[in-house]
Each structure stands twice: as C-alpha cells, then as structure tokens.
Amino acid sequence: MDVWTYFAQKEREFRDLSLVPDRDFAELFAEAAGSDGRRGRVFGNLNLTDNAFLAVSELVVVVGSHVRRREYGYFLVIDGIEIWGYERDLSHAPALHRHTEGHAERLEAKPISFKKVAELAWRETSDRDLVQPEEE
C-alpha cells in the first residue's frame, strides 16, 4: 500500500458517492515530497449541487499495509455558509471535534468516516430541497 493506491480508492469513492470535484481529480491528491509514497494529502472541494459542496482535507500516512488519516477536515458549505464540519486536528483540544454553523462552536465528536460525512451532506442538501430530481 502507498498513498497513490489510497488516492485511487478515494477517487472511486468520490465518484460512487456522486461527488464532483471543482478541478481534475488528479489535482486533489499530493504525495509529500521525499516520503517515498508513505505520506500525502487530499485537499479540495467536492460539489454536491450548484450551491453546496464538501471542503475536504486529509493528511494521510501509510502504516504497514493500510493508510491512516492522521488529520482530516470535512466541511459542508451551502450558499457560501459553513453549515457544519468534522475534524481530527491534533493542534486542537479535543482533537476529534465537530463545528456548528458558521464555525461557531467546537464540540467533542467521535471519529467519522468520509462515507458517513457524505451521507450527512446529501441528507442536509435533500432536507433543504437543494437536490433536484432527475428528469424523465
């Protein structure tokens, strides 16, 4: 396992979750210089609708045969307003936390998968009637 294998998995995951990057997929992923494929970053915006996106940031490290998200940040933004966010940021206390609308509060949280974040984001956009039904 190296970060490039992980990046390929993330690209498939984003597509499977119907998330569209704001640039080419390849530009979302970067290997850390001199890491020999052992460290990297995922960084960018993934569109859900015309006015809603997930801002995504992951700092990943290869440990044995798998990849760990050492840090992550996932923020749902609708009409330019941060609705909520989940982070693992080792420089904060608590390191695992979530943010309320407008980044107003930082509340303790449990680890969260990206898939769960995407599910929550799609639910939020659907609840706000931002997801348009497919035309027949």
pLDDT in the model for residue 131: 64
Q: What percent of the chain has pLDDT over 90?
A: 84
Residue 61 lies in a domain: yes
Residue 135 lies in a domain: no
Query: HEC string of 21-69?
Result: ECCCHHHHEEECCCCCCCEEEEEEEEEEECCEEEEEEEEEEEECCEEEE
Instruction: Give this prediction's pTM.
Output: 0.90
> Which domain covers residue 47, as residue numbers?
3-127
Confidence of residue 133 (pLDDT cuts 50, 70, 90): low
Of 88, 79, 25, nearest in space to 49 by CA = 79
Most distant CA atoms of the chain, gap in Å: 51
Cα torsion through 113, 85, 31, 22, rounded to 10: 110
Confidence of residue 87 (pLDDT cuts 50, 70, 90): very high
Residue 132 lies in a domain: no
Eight-state DSSP code of residue 135: P
Average pLDDT on 23-41 reads: 96
> Cα(55)–Cα(88) distance, rounded to whole angstroms?
14
pLDDT in the model for residue 123: 94
Residue 23 lies in a domain: yes
Q: Is the pLDDT of residue 112 over 70?
A: yes
- Round the average pLDDT of the chain to a whole number and report it: 93
Residue 44 lies in a domain: yes
Residue 22 lies in a domain: yes
Confidence of residue 109 (pLDDT cuts 50, 70, 90): very high
Residue 20 lies in a domain: yes
Overall domain count for the chain: 1
Average pLDDT on 70-90 reads: 96
Residue 136 lies in a domain: no
